[in-house]
Chains A and B, each alone.
Chain A
Amino acid sequence: MLEGFNTSGAVIAAHIDQAFWVNFWVSIVLFCSVVLPMLYFAWKFRESKVKNENIENITHHTGLEITWTVIPTIMLIVFFWYGYDSMKTVRTMPDSGIAINVEGSKWKWRYEYPANEAGHVHKLGGAYIKQKQDENGKVIEEGTMGKSALYVPVDTNIILSMTAPIDDVIHSFYIPSLRMKEDVVPGRTTKLWFNVGTVGEYDIECAEYCGTDHSYMYSRLVVLPKAEYEAWFNSTEDTPKGNYATSGDAVLQLHGCKSCHAIETDKVLVGPTLKTRTLTSEQVLDVINNGQNKLGYDMGAMPAGLATGADAQEIAAYVAGGMKGAQPASFAACSSCHGEDGKGMYGMSPNLVEYDAQLLSNVLKHGKKGIIGNMPAFPYVSDEEVSAIAEYLQNTK
């Protein structure tokens, strides 16, 4: 069940659910009124029990016929009323509330807030990377929570004015937990409103088929306590303080690291996993054979050929295996610089299995040449963010 589906935190959801369950129970009664007599007759008048003389050709019964026309008709009018009434709740826009513009385009949602006290206009949104799981249901990657969410305060009317670019296609803004959707049509503005009474996160989906990434046209509604929302809204920050952007995890998401690097598994996506710095034995061998000076450590280039032949193979297997088990004797060639335990000397030489802040900042500033291809530089990542990532990676291991 989706997060928040059962909280009935919204006035609309409560109304629509009421209509749904009225319909559900009456439908059960109508269903039984057809199927139970059918089953009973099929058993009661079964072939082996009925003598031909006892068959009766009853072809009319005015009372019954009126009953089974009038009663269902009344029930249907009740359904109509509940449907109409709940529609009114959804469609009657409140007089006041926070007006947010929503734009749906292939395949992202964007949100534009009114200007705050300082005149800053929050523009959020963008493509969302969903949480990914392996076959056992274990989370491989968290999604890009953070910038692409819609932040609103709790217990407040929110009015969405929605449209799509004129040359785009029809989308539909759907929040299952709030039981509401409305199409987002190019060249038109459609409206939705809601008021959520429970702090939490809710899924936003696209419900009108729109092409390749229809199923990834996804976003989150984040309902914040009022004070927290106000603090954020009046700042120029993209994302509210809290667990949304300050953690190393969120920084990784923000900069899109996770589209290439797995964090919590050993899976090799485009680049190597960051769970541990698991190099493949080929990578280690390459470094041993050819030397390495890509990371800007103070000790300078690592010379080529410190170990050769079977020794090099042995070291490569050990390092690629995460340096577990007994250390091979040949590792002595490494430990003079990388330390007895291979964990590196801070600022001088890298830890052979983990990333430290210095390595990260080097990689991010200058990019890195990997086996698969070049990782581009991310020079705008701040020092604070680098240390957040380093700490995060340390803890995820």
Chain B
Amino acid sequence: MSKSYFDETHCAIGHPKSTFMQWMLTVDHKRIGLMYAAVMFTFFFIAVATALAMRFELFAPGAQYMDGDTFNQAFTLHGVIMVFLFIIPGIPAVFGNIVMPLMIGAKDVSFPRLNWFTFWLYIVGCIVALSSLFNFSDGAFNFADTGWTFYAPYSLNTGTNVITTLVAAFILGMASILTGLNFLVTIHRLRAPGMDFFKMPLFVWGIYATAWIQLLATPVVGITLILAILEKFFGIGIFDPSKGGDPVLFQHLFWIYSHPAVYLMILPAFGIMSEIIPVFSRREVFGYRTIALSSASIAGIGYLVWGHHLYTSGMSDLAKTIFSFLTFFVAVPTGVKFYDWVATMYKGKIVLSTPMLWALGTMVTFAIGGLTGVTIAMVGVDIHLQDTYYTVAHFHYAILGGVVFLLFAGMHYWFPLITGKMYNETHAKIAFWLNFIGFNVLWFPMFIAGYLGMPRRYFDYLPEFQIYHQISFWGAIIFITGLAYMFYVLIQGWRKGESAGVNPWRATTLEWHLPTSPPPLENHTKVPYVDFNPYEYHHGEPVVKFDENMKRID
């Protein structure tokens, strides 16, 4: 039995004997990806539990289980964890690390030690972020209640440690920049010979576009941090109007980073979709180049649309008009991708395995999330819908129903690659349906409540909205049951599942042509020569085949 990456590893420092230290010091991209996943999902479940607590409170008008302040702290905790600790590292940190080098035939990322350092930088960032949520004011330790957007002047004059939070964002941002840099260099320098940019799998394209956003947008966090420090410690009025500053400037700086950040979340997710659809349609992808280039153009236009978060902030009408116009042009390449995916299914052979179910489910939920985003890109309509549940529902349909659902799709798709085992398909499909139904019951009523005038971040509400909150509550119960069930099925699969073999899905990309399952430490036995397209199928079977020494046998 040959050794897999679970059995041996390279370490950043020395050659530790203990398994624990081998994991802590590992530079292997696959192990680092797994450790990211472990930390991220721990935070994910904390934030899910907080969200459930809020749903309990919102079941009826009035205060039942918590007071207004506790509720405000709860949605702050939920938002900060979900956005900064879970979804921003997200797919690049897990699958960018584990799968991307395998897809391009590399033995690791370009800078494995930097990758190890980045992981620990992320951990430090998490610790600072969580500690910044506790602050000392009025003689007692309090928990931040600013919301994840930290809008000034509220965040500046409520005793919240906005400086510490920005430091955390800066450290996490640094980790993000270094990850992006590492991936950019890896994709440019370590592609297998013969693999030009238009022979890369589409997931690699998604990671590539994302890496540029990470590298170029994240430094704005640093600018914001310096300005906040100047204000806090030197009394220079930047954001606080009582010192002569402009609170809306903070919103601009915040969204200059945070808006590209949502594309940073979604682009690798689209990459996963582009992997799954052709494999489970058993044919070549439709419009390879348009999918690849649309990722790049979304990343580009994504920098120029942040102002659509400020339609009601008092910004000038001309700026609103321009930002609105530009925003619509993000929707065009996104729409093109969707039509390409649907066209990929035409005259294929649709295999409804769990990853495909998740992908198709996401087509529905993300289509809703994307189209409702178009609604609130319309300035006049957004004047009504800004800061209502409509916007909350849109965001969750796009990010949870888009990014996280595709992260789950990727988990099911690459599970046999990473663990070498297979989960129970029947149970995994039941878990999908619970999630899908629960998700829609949970968030769809919020569109209606929002349109009817239910503002977000309300701990108590007018009785007219009660019915929507109650439907949402039952959706949340179904959804959380589905989540727990899904993780149970996956964990059981890892512990007791049958061996999957190297290519259980009969896929074409290089990560499915490894010598053993799970993969060995240094991946492919020999770097292959790539003179073929990533999704070459003939009559439903992969065209290109390798033996265990990466010798073409087709």
Contacts and interface: CB of A to CB of B under 8 A. Distances in A.
B58 to A, nearest CB: 10
B378 A80 contact: yes
How many interface residues does chain B have, given as a range?
35 or more
B282 interface: yes
A181 B352 contact: no
A271 to B, nearest CB: 19
A87 B383 contact: yes
Given A79-B377, A185-B248, A185-B313, A34 B338 contact: yes
Interface in B370-415: 371-372, 374-375, 377-384, 386-388
B284 A23 contact: no
A38 B457 contact: no
B464 A1 contact: yes
Contacts of B455: 174, 205-207, 215
Contacts of B242: 166-167, 186-187
Contact of B463 (A86, A137, A209): A137
A96 interface: no
Interface stretch (B194-202, B252-260, B329-337, B482-490): B329-337
Nearest to B151: A170
A1 B452 CA distance: 7
A369 B154 CA distance: 41
Interface string A274-304: 0000000000000000000000000000000
B314 A183 contact: yes
A180 B384 contact: yes
B380 A89 contact: yes
B504 interface: no
Given A73-B332, A133-B61, A211-B158, A181 B387 contact: yes
A83 B314 CA distance: 17
A83 B377 contact: yes
Interface string A55-99: 111111100110011001100110110111111111100000000
B453 A90 contact: no
Given A2-B452, A209-B154, A214-B458, A35 B364 contact: yes
Contacts of B61: 133
B310 to A, nearest CB: 9
B164 to A, nearest CB: 20
Interface stretch (B17-25, B133-141, B215-223, B534-542): B534-542
A45 B314 contact: no
Nearest to A185: B314
A76 B282 contact: no
A16 B383 contact: yes
Contacts of B313: 183, 185
A31 B370 CA distance: 10
Interface in B211-252: 241-242, 246-248
Nearest to A54: B347
B332 A76 contact: yes
Interface string A144-172: 00000000000000000000001111101
Nearest to A67: B339
A5 B359 CA distance: 38
A215 B287 CA distance: 49
Nearest to B371: A27
Interface in B439-466: 451-453, 455-464, 466
Contacts of B418: none
A216 B458 CA distance: 9
Contacts, number: 281
B2 interface: no
A337 interface: no
B68 A215 contact: yes
B219 to A, nearest CB: 26
B15 interface: no
A177 to B, nearest CB: 7
B346 A211 contact: no
A215 B458 contact: yes
B4 interface: no
B352 A47 contact: yes
B288 A72 contact: no
A131 interface: yes
B285 A59 contact: yes
B72 A23 contact: no
Given A41-B350, A69-B336, A174-B455, A182 B312 contact: yes
A176 interface: yes
Given A2-B464, A186-B241, A58 B349 contact: no
Given A16-B381, A45-B345, A190-B314, A57 B461 contact: no
B312 A59 contact: no
Given A41-B342, A79-B328, A209-B457, A47 B154 contact: no
Contacts of B288: 59
B325 interface: yes
Given A79-B374, A132-B62, A91 B328 contact: no
Interface in B314-361: 314, 317, 320-321, 324-325, 328-329, 331-332, 335-336, 338-339, 341-343, 345-352, 360
Interface string B154-165: 100110000000
Given A47-B352, A55-B539, A187 B324 contact: no
A58 B343 contact: yes
Interface in B522-546: 537-541
Given A52-B540, A130-B462, A215-B460, A181 B383 contact: yes
B498 interface: no
B60 interface: yes
B459 A86 contact: no
Nearest to A91: B317
A42 B350 contact: yes
B355 to A, nearest CB: 14
B371 A55 contact: no
A188 to B, nearest CB: 6
A144 B378 CA distance: 36
Q: Among the interface residues A2, A27, A41, A185, which one has the most CB atoms of the partner chain B within 10 A? A: A41
Given A16-B381, A215-B68, 4 more contacts: A23-B378, A47-B350, A132-B62, A215-B457
12 contacts: A2-B452, A50-B348, A55-B283, A56-B283, A61-B343, A69-B335, A79-B374, A83-B380, A88-B380, A207-B456, A211-B72, A216-B68
Interface of B: 60-62, 68-69, 72, 145, 147, 151, 153-154, 157-158, 241-242, 246-248, 281-288, 290, 311-314, 317, 320-321, 324-325, 328-329, 331-332, 335-336, 338-339, 341-343, 345-352, 360, 363-364, 367-368, 371-372, 374-375, 377-384, 386-388, 451-453, 455-464, 466, 537-541
Interface of A: 1-2, 5, 15-16, 19-20, 23-24, 27, 30-31, 33-35, 37-38, 41-42, 45-47, 50, 52-61, 64-65, 68-69, 72-73, 76-77, 79-80, 82-91, 130-133, 135, 137, 166-170, 172, 174, 176-177, 179-183, 185-188, 190, 203, 205-216
